[in-house]
Structure 1
Amino acid sequence: MQIHRKLMFKPLGLALASAFLLAACGGNEQQNAAGQSAPAVTVLTVKVESVPVASELPGRTAPYLIAELRPQVTGIVKQRLFKEGSVVKAGQVLYQIDAATYQAAADSARASLARAEANLDAARLKAERYAELVKIEAVSKQANEEAVAAMKQAQADVGSAKAALDRARIDLGYTRVASPIAGRIGRSTVTPGALVTANQVAALATVQQLDPIYVDLTQSSTELLHMKRDLESGKLQRVSGNAVPVQLVLEDGSLYGAAGKLAFSEVTVDQATGSVTLRAVFPNPRGELLPGMYVRARLAQGVQDNAIRVPHAAVSRDPKGNATVMLVNAESKVEPRVVKTAQSLGDQWVVTEGLAAGDRVIVEGLQRVRPGAPVQVQDAAAASPAAAPAK
């Protein structure tokens, strides 16, 4: 009987031991779960500061100077004296038109001038002789007057012959088509042997000066009026200096290496688009900017006081499209906040409404939090030095 009772109590003891072990494990899991319920987040304590206000405007590049080469005389193209796509100098001869007929015309005009000058010499001598003879009444006054008139006519013939020679020389010079500006030349529309006509519609080639280069921008008249009112009210402070600096963002999102400046602003609003054209000029020594490229330009237009900057990663959009951030309040709990962003500066948003100095904005760990939940806070300023050795 005693042996039977011992056998009965042995399974019961094992069951009680197992229960205690399970209870202990369960308690540890609850303690671990309680410890893991407050996720760690990194916060940025924001501060009020003055930031530059810039407008990012779309635009297209345009040549600083452009010249379309057209012949001013008719003839056959004998030579093309440039390489397509090369850089040419001002005054460099690019095409040679057959000059034989124009050379002959110049020679003929030169001979006509020589004949006119010879006739003038004879008429002058006769007029001078008659002027002496009329004093002694050796010739009539009428004969003297006719000699003077003949001399004046000979002078006019010389002037006409000189003009004809000048015109012939000009036409002869036009057989050498030169570039009026320095720049890069494009493709040629004609080849040697082609017939070209004076002042034809089609250009032989186009030369463009690309250093410096223009960037034509468009800004809506509404934005322009809003900026002017903010400047007048004192909400925006004017940028020091008269020149307005401009930064260029290329099509691939990279910043152009050289800064430009605003050249002028159009005084008329485009009725079709409601926008104003702005023109900026940029140095282009390496030829990176080509005419017709789409770019975006950032224009510094003032200084915004009492502004706050937060990283892009900290700002999200709610279902209504409002910009929101997650804060950590005094109770170390997550609190959503709707904010108003004015512009983007680098990797940060400029916030003008919704935040105050000292607010703690969550910048890392947003995917692990929800509104009202407690969190473990780590300051971004304290986390950055620790992250440096890991690089």
Structure 2
Amino acid sequence: MKRNLIDLSMFVAGLLLLVAVSSCSTSSGNTAGAEPAAAEVVTIASGNATTQNEYTAALEGKVNVEIRPQVEGYLEKVYVDEGAYVKAGQPLFKINDHPFREQLNNAKASLNAAEAAMANAQLEVDKLTPLVQNKVVSDVQLRAAQASYRVAKANAEQARATVGAAQINLGYTLISAPVSGYIGRLPKKQGALVSRADVEALTQLSDVHEVYAYFSLSENDFISFKAQYPGNSLEEKLKNLPPVSLLLADNNLYGETGKIDMIDGQFDKNTGAITLRAIFPNAQGLIRSGNTGKVRLSRTHESAILVPQSATVEIQDKVFVFAVDKGNKVSKQPIAVVGKSGNNYLVSEGLKAGDRIVYNGLDHLQEGAVIKPEAPKAAAQLSMKN
């Protein structure tokens, strides 16, 4: 019995050793006799690509006018409603004009008196002139009469200017639209007392048949922006810029393209950014002043390295691909992503044309595993060779 127990112990020990060796062989990856796992592999090729960058923009009408009173008085009539579209010259507000009409009448009366005094002085000059020529009276009287005429003439001119000022003030009682556009809020209602010293305007009028989109570029983005387009000056570069697109607040693409027409003269010291302006047509009035959106700029990259996003994995804010060497062994390779073009990453470092990477099934790969390369089942969305 003792011998049988010894034989059984040796048998169990040998069995455990066999299991351990088998387990080690399995965990070591590909064994000498195992078939390598199949994986889709593509070869990187360089080509031209277009990336799109988006910048937050504030939208304003081409003309934004604050409508303010030029004279003080009670608001007698309000001819428009909030949000209404008005044409240039259309009446908006009427200030009580009775005091200003009386001022005008008073100024006209003063003018009539001044003109009468001037005419009387002219008669005195005309009467004394022949008498002086015939030496009937002294020329001193004539010179005094001529001086009186000049005084009367100056008084008449002053009275005429007063009439003009009164007419201007009377005209200010009817406030009309300086441009065509949309009326904003109306904080002052009929019967309110208004004056030039009011902090709040009567309303704001926005001409939005064209809208301006103001957005900012950082210093690095601006340097790259300038280097991309031909021209010896910023003015020449502006002429060569392609059209830009506008994303509205709901992320829908605006139906019209715009044109960058202005670059600010200096960088903002607080933000380190420079402001650009793009102009968009807005014939339908879909955009109003105060809207927000994003200006989308397209940029062309020549001889760019593109990698499908599906062929990458992100670990701790870094992007990796599984590179395949000549022996079909895979290794995790970090890449530097500088932009996106469609479903592809634009890569500046980590890969070059001719390198092979695993296209799909990255979750099942292990570092150093040997694979069997296969062509992708679906065509990659960039210029690559299988």
Same-fold status (TM-score > 0.5) = yes
Distance 1:382 1:246, change over 3 A: closer
Q: 1:314 matched to which residue of 2? A: 311
Is 1:191 the equivalent of 2:189?
Answer: yes
Match of 2:66 among 62, 65, 68: 68
Displacement of 1:364? 4.2
Displacement of 1:159? 0.6
Q: Is the 8 A contact 1:70 1:199 kept in 2?
A: no
Matches within 5 A, 1:339-378: 339-371=335-367, 372=369, 374=371, 377-378=374-375
State how far apart, in whole Å, the 2-side matches of 1:288 and 1:348 are.
34
Structure 2: give runs of 5+ residues left out of the alignment. 1-32, 231-235, 382-386
Query: Which of 309-318 and 124-133 deviates more?
Result: 309-318
| Percent identity over paired residues | 31
Q: What is the TM-score with the length of structure 2 in the denominator?
A: 0.78
Distance 1:366 1:86, change over 3 A: farther
Matches within 5 A, 1:380-391: none
Distance 1:97 1:363, change over 3 A: farther
Q: What is the TM-score with the length of structure 1 in the denominator?
A: 0.77
Q: 1:263 matched to which residue of 2? A: 261
For the residue of structure 2 that corresponds to 1:101, the secondary structure is helix
Over the aligned positions, Cα root-mean-square deviation in angstroms equals 3.2
Match of 1:252 among 233, 241, 250: 250
Displacement of 1:38? 3.5
Q: 2:8 matched to which residue of 1? A: none
Distance 1:375 1:292, change over 3 A: farther
Query: Which of 276-285 and 287-296 deviates more?
Result: 287-296
Distance 1:71 1:298, change over 3 A: same
Match of 1:304 among 292, 301, 309: 301
Q: Is the 8 A contact 2:208 2:282 kept in 1?
A: yes
Which whole-Å deviations, capped at 9, do the CAs of 1:274-324 have from their partners, x for residues lacking one?
2222222222223333333343323346x43320223333333123x2222
Which whole-Å deviations, capped at 9, do the CAs of 1:21-47 have from their partners, x for residues lacking one?
xxxxxxxxxxxxx99984564x55442
Displacement of 1:211? 2.8
State how far apart, in whole Å, the 2-side matches of 1:292 and 1:239 are.
29
Displacement of 1:376? 6.0
State how far apart, in whole Å, the 1-side matches of 2:361 and 2:179 are.
60
Q: 2:14 matched to which residue of 1? A: none
Distance 1:118 1:361, change over 3 A: farther
Q: 2:104 matched to which residue of 1? A: 106
Q: Is the 8 A contact 1:87 1:184 kept in 2?
A: yes
Is 1:86 the equivalent of 2:55?
Answer: no
Distance 1:351 1:156, change over 3 A: same
For the residue of structure 1 that corresponds to 2:244, the secondary structure is strand
Q: 1:12 matched to which residue of 2? A: none
Which whole-Å deviations, capped at 9, do the CAs of 1:91-111 have from their partners, x for residues lacking one?
222100001111111122122
Q: 2:146 matched to which residue of 1? A: 148
Which whole-Å deviations, capped at 9, do the CAs of 1:211-245 have from their partners, x for residues lacking one?
3212221222244346667889xxxxx98953353
Matches within 5 A, 1:142-291: 142-225=140-223, 242-243=240-241, 245-291=243-289
Q: 1:139 matched to which residue of 2? A: 137
State how far apart, in whole Å, the 2-side matches of 1:354 and 1:79 are.
72
Which whole-Å deviations, capped at 9, do the CAs of 1:59-83 have from their partners, x for residues lacking one?
3223322111111111111111112
Structure 1: give runs of 5+ residues left out of the alignment. 1-33, 233-237, 385-391
Q: Is the 8 A contact 2:229 2:237 kept in 1?
A: no
For the residue of structure 1 that corresponds to 2:207, the secondary structure is strand
Q: Is the 8 A contact 1:332 1:377 kept in 2?
A: no
Displacement of 1:84? 0.8
Q: Is the 8 A contact 2:71 2:173 kept in 1?
A: yes
For the residue of structure 1 that corresponds to 2:240, the secondary structure is coil
Output the amino acid matched with 1:145: R
For the residue of structure 1 that corresponds to 2:123, the secondary structure is helix
Distance 1:55 1:199, change over 3 A: same
For the residue of structure 1 that corresponds to 2:209, the secondary structure is strand
Q: 2:17 matched to which residue of 1? A: none
Displacement of 1:123? 1.9
For the residue of structure 2 that corresponds to 1:379, the secondary structure is coil
Q: 1:122 matched to which residue of 2? A: 120
Displacement of 1:363? 4.5
Q: Is the 8 A contact 1:261 1:280 kept in 2?
A: yes
Which whole-Å deviations, capped at 9, do the CAs of 1:157-216 have from their partners, x for residues lacking one?
211111011100000000011222222111101111111112422111011222321222
State how far apart, in whole Å, the 1-side matches of 2:196 and 2:240 are.
47
State how far apart, in whole Å, the 2-side matches of 1:215 and 1:228 are.
19
